[in-house]
Structure 1
């Protein structure tokens, strides 16, 4: 499979071209750039990944990685469209490194790969009059970063789970065990997990926001249909750069805003905000007061199952009923 490479800055390439290591796509408004990179500056030819980052921000901030579990060990790789119409990364001797998940086959010559101003990488049919008919898009396969316009939740029709997963560490974009998504149920809460264990819950959607304070800087949106259940957000001003990222080492979901005057990312908010924010911090029938140090108390009518364990902040046994319930008795209602 031989493809000529693109020769100048552009936001697209088609099936007769490829994007080799050393060349990039740039979104029309210049916000995002896509190409091959190495997380380690000490050895830039070790573990090469195809990623998307902010073009105008001097410190490379990667928001999406394609081959996060299959790095290339040199700079021989290229992004191409296969003859079956799939987006692929090929290395030496055209060895397949990564392939986009899609079941639709279209002639490669009629396909266009485009990096949008939103940071979404899409594949679409050039002959389709509707430019929003995507055959594949990177927003369907988020990594550790949540951008305006992305969705957290489920595409029930396609069987997709829009869930973020943290990088394993700062120079390894492979998935860690810290993730954030939506738990399907009566409330459709947003949940963070450590592995399979619930770590944080947002609370139910009340029609305006999940439990917590709404922020006028951006608009929240929750949608539930037969095909999709998702949460998204968008900023009132497109000139404002913000991102939400999962931090594996801190087990924290953090929102950063770009401060142009200082040329730095500023931490705007984080969850959990303190130890009491953690899911089930004090166990069943326990009440959390304070975060440093964590203080747990049993609710009225309950007592620690193990006083020694509870004082040691082991909430696994938590609280049990201290006396029989006395419905209607003064000062004894549980």
Structure 2
């Protein structure tokens, strides 16, 4: 029997990545430990994981081709103790992460109520939530890019939304084995001329200096 070419194997793997799971979840479905949402072109996955040398379970997003490279974690401050976690929609359209006892470990916690909610992972790595009829047009009620973990992806902005009074900033993992929030943050300081700063707790470790207008 003729063996498939390397190109054919690569093509099959890419098809498997793009068709190996849904990239959208609606109110009639949920996401359980062991399931994944896969972005349309297979670049990113949403699912449950444990860090190395840890039994705690987290809901996160990682590169499909590099599962160890986790770029976003939902329940960083409230890890699950077992594999009973399930992500589902609440009555108001929020997505909530529950365990077997129906204890809430994380929620999108938006104030807007959705009638026909839909959750989708994009090929940018952004997890977006909104009405199913308008999600494709970019009308998001909530998005993970507004709540970054420790990784900047293309299209993710760090800094202040002055109109909404909302800050996006990065927080380190506690260790390579523990994605709970660590001591270091990367953010923009708007006092005086804006500049990027890295802080360990309340102690400033680095500042970029104000931008001088030259790239």
Structure 1 position 66 matched with structure 2 position 74: yes
Instruction: Find the counterpart in structure 1 of residue 200 from structure 2.
Output: 194
Deviation at 1:160, TM superposition (A): 1.8
Instruction: Find the counterpart in structure 2 of residue 272 from structure 1.
Output: none
Deviation at 1:208, TM superposition (A): 4.3
Structure 1 position 141 matched with structure 2 position 147: yes
Could you say which structure has the greater relative contact order, defined with CA pairs below 8 angstroms and 6 or more residues apart?
2
Instruction: Find the counterpart in structure 2 of residue 173 from structure 1.
Output: 179
* Count of aligned residue pairs for this structure pair: 197
Greater fraction helix: 2
Instruction: Find the counterpart in structure 2 of residue 35 from structure 1.
Output: 47
Whether the 8 Å CA contact 1:124–1:131 is kept in 2: the answer is no
Q: 89, 110, 116: which one pairs with 1:102?
A: 110
2:169 & 2:23 partners in 1: Cα distance?
Answer: 26
Deviation at 1:174, TM superposition (A): 0.9
2:196 & 2:49 partners in 1: Cα distance?
Answer: 32
Deviation at 1:206, TM superposition (A): 2.8
Q: Normalised by the size of structure 1, how large is the TM-score?
A: 0.56
Q: 108, 121, 130: which one pairs with 1:124?
A: 130
2:214 & 2:98 partners in 1: Cα distance?
Answer: 46
1:90 & 1:79 partners in 2: Cα distance?
Answer: 6
SS in 2 for 1:139: helix
Q: 30, 33, 40: which one pairs with 1:21?
A: 33
Instruction: Give the gaps of 5 or more residues in structure 2.
Output: 1-19
Instruction: Find the counterpart in structure 2 of residue 48 from structure 1.
Output: 57
Report the CA distance shift for 1:129/1:150 in structure 2 as closer, same or farther (over 3 A).
closer
Structure 1 position 79 matched with structure 2 position 87: yes
Whether the 8 Å CA contact 2:72–2:149 is kept in 1: the answer is yes
Q: 165, 169, 190: which one pairs with 1:163?
A: 169
Q: Deviations over 1:138-165 (max 9, x none)?
A: 0100111111111110112333211100
Q: Deviations over 1:213-249 (max 9, x none)?
A: xxxxxxxxxxxxxxxxxxxxxxxxxxxxxxxxxxxxx
Bigger Cα Rg: 1
Q: Report the aligned-residue RMSD.
A: 1.7
SS in 1 for 2:141: strand
Runs of 4 or more off by more than 4 Å in structure 1? Answer: none
Instruction: Give the gaps of 5 or more residues in structure 1.
Output: 1-7, 210-334
1:158 & 1:93 partners in 2: Cα distance?
Answer: 36
Whether the 8 Å CA contact 1:79–1:90 is kept in 2: the answer is yes
